[in-house]
Amino acid sequence: MSGTTTAGSQQADAPVPGRRSGGAHVNRWVVLTVLCASLLLVAIDATVLHVAVPAVTEDLRPGSIQLLWIVDAYPLMCASLLILFGTLGDRVGRRRVLLFGYTLFAVASAVAAYAPSAAVLIGARALLGVGGAMIMPATLSILRQVFPDRRERALAVGIWSAVAAVGAAVGPLVGGLLLEHFWWGAVFLINIPLMAASLPIGRWLLPESVSDAEGPWDVFGAVLAAAGLCGAIFGVKRAGSGELLSVGTWLPLLAGIVLIAWFVRRQRRRPHPLVDVGTLTRAGFGTSVGCIVLTVLALVGLALIAAQYLQLVLGLSPLQTGMRLLPLSVAAIAAGLAGSRLLALMGPRAMVSLGFVVTALAVLCLTGVGEEDRPGLLIGGFVLLGFGLETTLFGCYESMLSEAPPEQSGGAAAVGETAYQLGAGIGIALLGSVMNAAYGPGVRGAAGDSGLPSTAGDDASHSLGEAYEVAAQYGGPSGEALRQAARGAFVSGLHATLLVSAGLLLVGALAALRLPRRMDGQPQEPDGAERPTGPEGHGGSGQLLSRGVTQS
């Protein structure tokens, strides 16, 4: 990676001859603007479709499996290919991979916007995931290159983090706004003009660089990692959809675990691995990765349930739902911009532990919500949630990446990102199961008490939306009784889910006690000398800093 030099002034990342080199000829803040614009689109695209699912369902009439793939194809492909494209960019040029990602993202957006069928939309969403996997690692590598000064890089990373937080939070807001005036395909069309503008601007302004790492790129290892992650994350997502005991869940999950184990064994034996898996045994690195999984596990499934609560229980529109979630984004932005100072003052152990405790407190506060709207409680809870979440993940990523060797920082970033995706899948599976266990029996019992057939109770127990449909179908006092019972059961399930989430977050606070008490405090060396990672400059950190907010 760039920005780190040896005593002999040999660069870890060498600019490609004939290309612009970051800092000398290009205004680095302009480069940051270009990078943040592309990051914003990737972050928005991760959440913008959530509010459009009902409109897509009404228009394309997908089956239940197809609907699951429409939502999951993007994150599944993106997570599976991060290591592949991150390491490929190190070898063939990060700007080159980034520009390919821009092109693919624009083309896939156009196909998705005008998809005539669910199958075409699934394919387009998968291509969007491939483009996102190209964009994310390259964006972060270039950012590190053009900001070699650690103090400036800390500010740049804070801006990058804030942009990602904005994109994640305004995704539903943008989607809701567009759906009130246009058809569902408009949520994809917004990508095209910005990506089209980013291509020539990026080719002109962005620096090109490649790593001087020795040895060939391990093509087979990269494919192993992609296939293993795809199988594991797909299995976890299937479990989260309620098919916990299905062969279609366990077969890809076990296959993914076997392939990942094979990948790890292969990397241990190679003299020039794609990812130095030995760093996972370091307390700071391994604990940080575990804390990322715990944080996302506790919150991602909860975020999806919260969106349903706002729309189905409180009756808010998609646009109003996005506005209610906006305080979370604002708080996360503040935490991201203040993160470097907090880390320097507190150190990773105290910062991450405090973040977990604040987030757990926010989750416990939200147990006060009910069937009636309490906007003050929701806003206060979301503010604490956003601040605690971003604080936790900032410290985790900083500690994780500072433990990795500079030449392996791209691989370390990919490990952090896949930890996020894995935690998201497990969180949806675990918290979804808790929600269903609390919600289903109450709805089935209410349907039986109302004199409705057992099939009606079974259908209504799948989700609150289906319960409303069954209630409308039967109508009368029985339908209204079922509707009210389903709302009450959903709120009870939400409370149970919140309590489980709080428990997981407190476990994370205890786990964070294994992190270093403080960052290495060595002073900066003169230009041309090895620069150790530290709290002010983040060293190799900042990679994927704000991903906790991007899909929650």
Last residue of a domain, one of 235, 255, 272: 272
Where residue 357 falls among pLDDT bands split at 50, 70, 90? very high
- Tell whether 413 and 488 lie within a shared domain: yes
- Rounded to the nearest integer, the mean pLDDT of the chain is 75
Residue 541 within any structural domain of the chain: no
Question: Is 424 in the same domain as 457?
Answer: yes
Same domain as 252, residue 130 = no
Residue 476 CB-half CA count within 13 A: 5
222 with 299, same domain: the answer is: no
Q: Please report the pLDDT score of residue 153 as a whole number.
A: 66
pLDDT of residue 16: 41
Same-domain check for residues 417 and 296: yes
Question: Please, which pLDDT band fits residue 462 given cuts at 50, 70 and 90?
Answer: confident
Report yes or no on 14 lying in a domain.
no
C-alpha to C-alpha distance for 433 and 155, rounded to whole angstroms: 41
Residue 305 pLDDT > 80, yes or no? Answer: no
Residue 513 domain-assigned? yes
Region of poorest pLDDT, from 197-201, 277-281, 543-547: 543-547
How many distinct structural domains can be found in the chain?
3
526 located within any domain:
no
Which of 179, 208, 237 is at the close of a domain?
A: 208
DSSP states of 403-463:
HS-GGGHHHHHHHHHHHHHHHHHHHHHHHHHHHHHHHHHHHHHHHHHTT--HHHHHHHTT-
Query: What is each CA distance from 305 to 8, 234, 252, 408, in whole angstroms?
Result: 55, 20, 26, 37
Asked if 172 and 268 sit in the same domain, the reply is no
What is the reported pTM? 0.73
Asked if 252 and 347 sit in the same domain, the reply is no
1 inside domain? no
Is 541 within 8 Å of 340 (Cβ atoms)? no
Q: Are residues 46 and 80 in the same domain?
A: yes
Alpha-carbon separation of residue 8 from 11, 15, 528 (angstroms): 9, 17, 7
DSSP assignment of 273-295, as one string?
Answer: -SS-GGGGGSHHHHHHHHHHHHH
Position 443 scores a pLDDT of: 81
Tokens 């970051």 map to which residue?
Answer: 22
**Which domain range does residue 106 map to?**
25-208
CATH of the domain at 70: 1.20.1250.20
Confidence of residue 353 (pLDDT cuts 50, 70, 90): very high
Q: For residue 524, is it within any domain?
A: no
Q: For residue range 151-203, what is the model confidence (pLDDT) as tens digits?
A: 666 667 667 766 766 676 667 677 777 777 788 888 888 788 878 888 888 78
* Separation of alpha carbons 98 and 85, rounded Å: 10
Flag whether 384 is in a domain.
yes
Q: What integer pLDDT is reported at residue 460 of this predicted model?
A: 78
DSSP string of 225-241?
HHHHHHHHHHHHHHHHT
Instruction: Say if residue 31 is in the same domain as residue 60.
Output: yes
Shared domain for 81 and 153, answered yes or no, is yes
Same domain, residue pair 57 and 185:
yes
Contacting residues for 229 by C-beta, under 8 A, at least 6 apart:
79, 80, 83, 256, 260, 418, 421
The most confident of 97-101, 206-210, 342-346, 457-461, by mean pLDDT: 97-101
Task: Grade residue 447 by pLDDT with cuts at 50, 70 and 90.
Answer: confident
Q: Is residue 9 part of a domain?
A: no
Same domain? For 415 and 298 the reply is yes
Among 325-329, 350-354, 408-412, 482-486, top mean pLDDT goes to: 350-354
